[in-house]
Amino acid sequence: MWPRVSGSTNTIQTELIMTEYTQNPFTPTHSLDMNPFDDPTPTQAAEDSIRVEELRRREHDLERREQELSQRAEHIRTHGRNNWPPFYPLIYHSISEEIPEASRPLITRLYQLWLILLATLVINMVACIFLLVAGSSDGGKDLGGSIGYLFIISSLSFLLWYRPIYNGYMKEQALYYYFYFFFGGFHLLFSVYMIIGIPSTGSAGLIQTVQMYASGHWAAGILATIATVGWTVQGLGNAFYYRQIWNHHAAAGHTMDKAKAELASHGAKAYFTRG
């Protein structure tokens, strides 16, 4: 039978749709790919996992920082900000926090040289004990002098040349540099004096070392050699950085007039405080 052609266009379209549905009633009317309830793709799942891991890492960092701040606050409450020397804090010393980044390597090296000086003073005293045991005619004077050096030079060197240049690079004030140049220069002369090792001066330097080897006292000679090497290393190191600091001081425009003006403005007390 021929289909009807009479009637409106809408009637024809309706009949065609009904015929298709009658032949295959299970044909879907839309694509399954557009289902909004489909599971996320593997790429989306990986991205979600990365986000979760990042949030966990940030949370862990926040907890760690909070714990560090709490510990620091407790330390400040109990001991104040002082952290040096570690066994009995008297002052605050932190190169990483107080010194500009460009100057930290230099100040770190100076601090290491001061530690070498401290170790050399201890070894020098022990060497003088061996000099006394070896029968040195001036062994008693050497031992007494070495003990005095250990307590006096260690503290004065820190206060009179290391601490001033530490504060100088931290605050960039001229007076600190002149303190360092004066007392640092004196320390260089003292280092030469200790390297020579004149008997009865408290130094187990070159002269004392040669005498111990010549008399067959090898233990005293070895210790005196170590002390001499220590005096030489810290002396040459300080001389090298002394020149670098002088060049920095000149380039920064620090002058004696500026140092006098700072002293008149701030007073001497300001140079012994953290302000």
Residue 116: half-sphere exposure toward Cβ, Cα within 13 Å: 20
* CB burial of residue 196 (10 Å; 0-12, 13-18, 19+): middle
In a domain, 211, yes or no: yes
Mean pLDDT over the full length of the chain: 85
Give 218-221's long-range contacts (Cβ < 8 A, gap of 24+). 219/130, 220/127, 220/130, 220/131, 220/133, 220/134
Show the domain range for 236.
98-256+263-273
Q: What is the pLDDT of residue 75?
A: 60
In a domain, 90, yes or no: no
* Structural domains of the chain, count: 1
pTM: 0.72
24-51 pLDDT, tens digit per residue, is 555 454 444 555 555 556 777 778 788 8
Q: What is the pLDDT of residue 137?
A: 85
In a domain, 72, yes or no: no
In a domain, 48, yes or no: no
| Unique residue bearing structure tokens 């620090």 | 254
59-115 pLDDT, tens digit per residue, is 888 888 888 777 767 666 655 688 999 888 889 999 999 999 999 999 999 999 999
Query: For 125-131, what is the mean pLDDT?
Result: 97
CB 128 within 8 A of CB 220: no
In a domain, 199, yes or no: yes
Q: What is the pLDDT of residue 38?
A: 53
d(CA 275, CA 273): 6
In a domain, 158, yes or no: yes
In a domain, 68, yes or no: no
